[in-house]
Amino acid sequence: MMEKRNPLPVQEAVAKIMEQPMEGRTEWTALEDAGGCVLAQDIQADHDVPPFDRSPYDGFAIRARDTTEASREHPVPLHVIDDIGAGTVFGGTVDKGQAVRIMTGAPIPGGCDAVVMLELAHEYEEEDHQYVEVKRPFQKHDNISFQGEDTEQGTTVIQRGTLIHPGVTAVLASFGYGQVPTVQRPRIGVIATGSELLPITAPLEPGKIRNSNAYMIMAQIEQAGGEAVSFGTVADDFEKTFSTVKEALRSVDILLTTGGVSVGDYDHIPDILKELGATVHFNKVGMRPGSVTTAATLGSQLIYGLSGNPSACYVGFELFVRPVIRKILGFAAPHLKKRKAVLGTDFPKPNPFMRFVRAELKEENGGWKAYPAGLDKSSSVTSLSDASALIALPGGTRGYEKGMEVDVLLLHSMEGSEWPWDNIVRSYRS
Amino acid sequence: MMEKRNPLPVQEAVAKIMEQPMEGRTEWTALEDAGGCVLAQDIQADHDVPPFDRSPYDGFAIRARDTTEASREHPVPLHVIDDIGAGTVFGGTVDKGQAVRIMTGAPIPGGCDAVVMLELAHEYEEEDHQYVEVKRPFQKHDNISFQGEDTEQGTTVIQRGTLIHPGVTAVLASFGYGQVPTVQRPRIGVIATGSELLPITAPLEPGKIRNSNAYMIMAQIEQAGGEAVSFGTVADDFEKTFSTVKEALRSVDILLTTGGVSVGDYDHIPDILKELGATVHFNKVGMRPGSVTTAATLGSQLIYGLSGNPSACYVGFELFVRPVIRKILGFAAPHLKKRKAVLGTDFPKPNPFMRFVRAELKEENGGWKAYPAGLDKSSSVTSLSDASALIALPGGTRGYEKGMEVDVLLLHSMEGSEWPWDNIVRSYRS
């Protein structure tokens, strides 16, 4: 009846999942909708930046050699022959003793080779002509932004795999990308299983709990960058669960089930995976909470059985599902960001499994201190709202003391880690 | 003709803006759409958690006093009188010598006061009856999750002003919040001004530039948590600009213009603010880039004139607009997150104004090092895509050297600062 389960160390379980070939698809997205997406291709400059020699200031375009003799006592007057705004072009050529009033960003008129800032210039009118006085000598190329000095045409300006934040949007817009090659968000299906589940707005009944996990996982999927697709709730019934799983697998890249997957007999996921002919990579992990996490592949699709306990489900997602979504999206650092922190409390009880303690990180005296968030029980849901990190406590025969340095994994950071496990495991073995 | 402008120190300009009374409105959002919103009210537990005494494990509910004499050599057999799954309830009372097979999360049957984990129990059948052997004494309350031990009904479990991340979603779901009180995103209008602006997909023309700023600001607004509303591009024409500004002010909380606002004569924003009767708080700030940033109020609305230079516009938004949006949303730390970092390069040239250098932060030897991203010119757009922080270099008579500790402001962090300016200003004065 009950299948024997051998726990796999966390890092080996993560490695097994990350070995599976999963690749993102490219789609074109309107620039205004591309924020938060990931670039699927390198972006090249379609023109020099600046595209022409231009003025970095409002002022007067001049010929530097006209100002060689200029001084405060003997300012050189120049005849202002035109006044061009941004977006307009001076068509002619500026001759000896002449200048052109020019706006920031305007092209340098023919014949000119320097710009006098407006604030440093004295303008005056004489017999219906405009003049400007220059009070010091200028060098050729003073105050000119040269064509291509920022970026030359054809240069790769942004790498594929880059998250499209506002600075990236600016660069894409300036290079004419009205449509952007982005990595399509992988479709992640969610099935909540369990006869004990109530709709979240239903009043509580004895023996029942509200189906908070489905909402939580959908939010985790979106935060990781996936597209969450709900396939509803099914009672603990093999046939119904099986047909829902089959239906979901018709349209998703990854399927998550939550609930069940304990060692109890009402859990049909193991039988369903067998019936589907899926390859089970692990069905138990040496960690708390979340030891009863299952992962399997069926062709190119990944299927997870996450625990029904909210915190165990949460941690299982962050460790095993999030990095796969981030890998598909093309992130070089798909795992949760790791940081060192100092324990704010004792964990006297040793545990053979690696523990992940939901924690609040506080900046104290320039360093980070980690305190458990709420009650650290796998059944506790309120600690999830306060937690900004998971303290990773490697398993072993000793507990941990307040003041010890430990590794924490950040839950809400836009940064990530390439592979956070090596050092954590090393301290485990020491 | 040209208005005299006195630069205001950065921190005073930010303070002026933050003094303006701006408040968020509450709206109700479906939980599945509330991710990334901010809670407008405190959230109370609508029930005890757990809602009843329940089992934290799969196993057998027993009466502890039946096991007083149990030992490995003399296991105590208990008669298993029922088998209840999650979501079902045992209606009767368990008597002396009896046990009930129970699932994780199921209510503790009447009469029972402890749970034996499934893994530690030996089951057998005898004459059509199920039995379980217990091999050690159990104490009253062993392995029971008590009603309310996680959270008592009526407790405030999440504070208003909290960002709704997946852990918060889980708590909201478990307390029955299908609709969530969220702070309505403020509506931020954007008008790009300038005759030099081309649509971003148009080929470049001499003297013209693509309108990248509008796309960039819209993305910055969304990243900060506002709702971006575009009012298009207008040429440098007073009447057209004025009527577009008037139209936008009919429906937005904050209006941003970009372009113009230089010291040149084609900028109509100062005249428009005068015509509207707006109170101008500043029109020049002691900073580079972005010195030509204007901020004004008209009744309860804020109007900004941001520079037309991409990087100056970007910095102006992050310093002066972002914190207002975050304040309206209810964040206690509305400003960019400040962190210490070590300069990775020299900045030999002194500047009387505070400089904000777009920078890449790199973790080196456990510390943060800040390197300029691309060319740090206010006209440079490509440096924006690489920058993850702004190095804040207080103005003064000396430059800065590689290896010095400086303050940096993080551009893509979900964290914030309450008021980042005091220490930066202190170093400015020293």
What does the pLDDT read at residue A88? 77
pLDDT at B367: 85
Min CA distance, B150 vs chain A (Å)? 6
Report pLDDT digits (tens) over B300-357. 999 999 998 888 999 999 999 999 999 999 998 999 999 999 999 999 999 999 999 9
Q: Which fold has domain A10-25+185-329?
A: Molybdenum Cofactor Biosythetic Enzyme; Chain A (3.40.980)
Nearest to B207 among A88, A209, A211 (CB): A88
- Dump the DSSP string for A106-143: PBPPBT--EEEEGGG-EEEEETTEEEEEE-S---TTTT
DSSP string, B347-371: B-S--SSEEEEEEEEEEETTEEEEE
> How many other CB atoms sit within 10 Å of the CB of residue B166?
24
Which residues from B are below 8 Å from A167, CB to CB? 216, 314, 358, 384-387, 411
pLDDT at position B425 is 63
CA-angle at B22, arms to B21 and B27, nearest 5°: 145
CB-CB contact of A357 with A372 (8 Å): yes
**What DSSP string runs through B166-222?**
HHHHHHHHHTT-SEEEEEPPPEEEEEEE-TTEE-TTSPP-TT-EE-HHHHHHHHHHH
Name residues whose C-beta falls within 8 Å of residue B156's C-beta, 6 or more positions apart in sequence.
Answer: B42, B43, B44
Contact check, Cβ <8 Å, A171/B385: yes
Instruction: Please give the distance of CA A57 from its chain centroid, rounded to a whole number.
Output: 36
Residues of A in contact with B204 (CB under 8 A): 47, 51
A191 strand-pairing partners: A257
Distance from CA of A289 to the nearest CA of B (A): 12
A418 touching chain B per CB within 8 A: no
Token pair 């959908």: residue: A218
User: How confident is the model over B37-75, as pLDDT tens digits?
Assistant: 999 999 999 999 888 898 988 899 999 999 999 999 999
CA distance linking residue A27 with residue B54, whole number of Å: 49
User: Do A227 and A325 form a contact (C-beta atoms < 8 A)?
Assistant: no
Cβ within 8 Å, pair A308-B266: no
Tell me whether the omega of the peptide bond preceding residue B7 falls within 30 degrees of 0, making it cis. no
B103 touches chain A (CB under 8 A): yes
Residues A355-383 pLDDT 10s? 999 999 998 887 899 999 875 455 566 78
Nearest to B313 by CA among B430, B191, B408, B414: B191
Question: In which band, very low, low, confident or very high, does the pLDDT at B219 lie, cut at 50, 70 and 90?
Answer: very high
For domain A59-134, give the CATH superfamily.
Answer: Molybdopterin biosynthesis moea protein, domain 3. (2.170.190.11)
Tens digits of per-residue pLDDT, B177-212?
999 999 999 999 999 998 888 999 999 887 788 899
Q: Find the CB nearest A382 among B49, B104, B387.
A: B49
User: Do the Cβ atoms of A170 and B204 come within 8 Å?
Assistant: no
Which residues of chain B does A212 touch, with a Cβ-Cβ cutoff of 8 Å?
170-171, 173-174
Q: pLDDT-based confidence at B375, cuts 50/70/90?
A: low
Residues paired with residue B400 on neighbouring β-strands, in sequence order: B347
What CATH architecture is B10-25+184-329?
3-Layer(aba) Sandwich (3.40)
Beta carbons of A337 and A410 less than 8 angstroms apart:
yes
pLDDT at B262: 47
Asked if A86 contacts B196 with a C-beta cutoff of 8 angstroms, the reply is: yes
Q: What DSSP line would sit under A346-395, residue for residue?
A: -B-S--SSEEEEEEEEEEETTEEEEEE-S---TT-SHHHHH-SEEEEE--
Residue spans per domain, chain A: 10-25+185-329, 28-48+153-183, 59-134, 335-429
Q: Say whether A266 and B171 touch across the interface (CB within 8 A).
A: no
- Residues with Cβ within 8 Å of residue A141, at least 6 apart in sequence: A64, A113, A114
What are phi and psi for residue A130, nearest 5 degrees? -90, 140
Q: What is the pLDDT of residue A366?
A: 76
Q: Please tell me if residue A120 touches chain B, with a CB cutoff of 8 Å.
A: no
Backbone angles phi, psi at A391, to 5 degrees: -80, 125
Q: What is the pLDDT along chain A (430 residues), one digit of tens a residue?
A: 345 678 999 999 999 999 999 889 999 999 999 999 999 999 999 999 888 898 988 899 999 999 999 999 999 999 999 998 766 788 889 999 999 999 888 889 999 999 999 988 899 999 999 999 999 999 999 999 999 888 889 989 898 999 999 999 999 999 999 999 999 999 999 999 988 889 999 998 877 888 999 999 999 999 999 999 999 999 888 999 999 999 999 999 999 999 854 444 557 889 999 999 999 999 999 999 988 899 999 999 999 999 988 889 999 999 999 999 999 999 989 999 999 999 999 999 999 999 999 999 998 887 899 999 875 455 566 788 989 999 999 999 899 999 999 999 999 988 899 999 987 765 544 3
Q: In the Cβ-directed half-sphere of A282, how many Cα atoms lie within 13 Å?
A: 24
Nearest CA in chain A to B206: A89
Domain B29-49+149-183 matching CATH 3.30.230.10: the answer reads no
Strands B354-364 and B335-343: unpaired
- CATH, domain A335-429, list 3.30.2320.30, 3.10.580.10, 3.40.50.150, 2.40.340.10: 2.40.340.10
What CATH superfamily is the domain A28-48+153-183? Molybdopterin biosynthesis moea protein, domain 2 (3.90.105.10)
- What digits encode the pLDDT tens for the residues B264-298? 455 788 999 999 999 999 999 999 998 889 999 99
The overall average pLDDT reported for chain B is 90
- The closest CB to that of B414, out of A149, A358, A412, belongs to A412
The answer, for A91 touching chain B at a CB cutoff of 8 Å, is: no
Of the residues B205, B381, B409, the best mutation for testing chain A's interface (the one with the most A CB atoms within 10 Å of its CB) is B381
